[in-house]
A and B are shown apart, each in its own frame.
Chain A
Amino acid sequence: GDSVTQMEGPVTLSEEAFLTINCTYTATGYPSLFWYVQYPGEGLQLLLKATKADDKGSNKGFEATYRKETTSFHLEKGSVQVSDSAVYFCALMKGKLIFGQGTELSVKP
Chain B
Amino acid sequence: EAGVVQSPRYKIIEKKQPVAFWCNPISGHNTLYWYRQNLGQGPELLIRYENEEAVDDSQLPKDRFSAERLKGVDSTLKIQPAELGDSAVYLCASSLDPPDTQYFGPGTRLTVL
Contact = CB atoms under 8 A, between A and B. Distances in A.
Contact of B42 (A43, A45, A99): A99
A97 B105 contact: no
A75 interface: no
Interface stretch (B11-19, B63-71, B72-80, B95-103): B95-103
A91 B41 CA distance: 12
B56 A100 contact: no
Contacts of B41: 101-102
Nearest to B43: A99
A101 to B, nearest CB: 5
Contacts of B91: 43-44
A95 interface: yes
Contacts of B101: 34, 46, 49
Nearest to A42: B106
Given A43-B105, A46-B103, A49-B101, A96 B45 contact: yes
A81 B43 CA distance: 26
Chain A interface helix/strand/loop/mixed: strand
A100 to B, nearest CB: 6
A86 interface: no
A95 B99 contact: yes
Nearest to A44: B104
A4 B11 CA distance: 30
A102 B45 contact: no
Contacts of B53: none
B33 interface: yes
Interface in A16-69: 32, 34, 36, 42-46, 49
A48 B87 CA distance: 30
A89 interface: yes
A43 B104 contact: yes
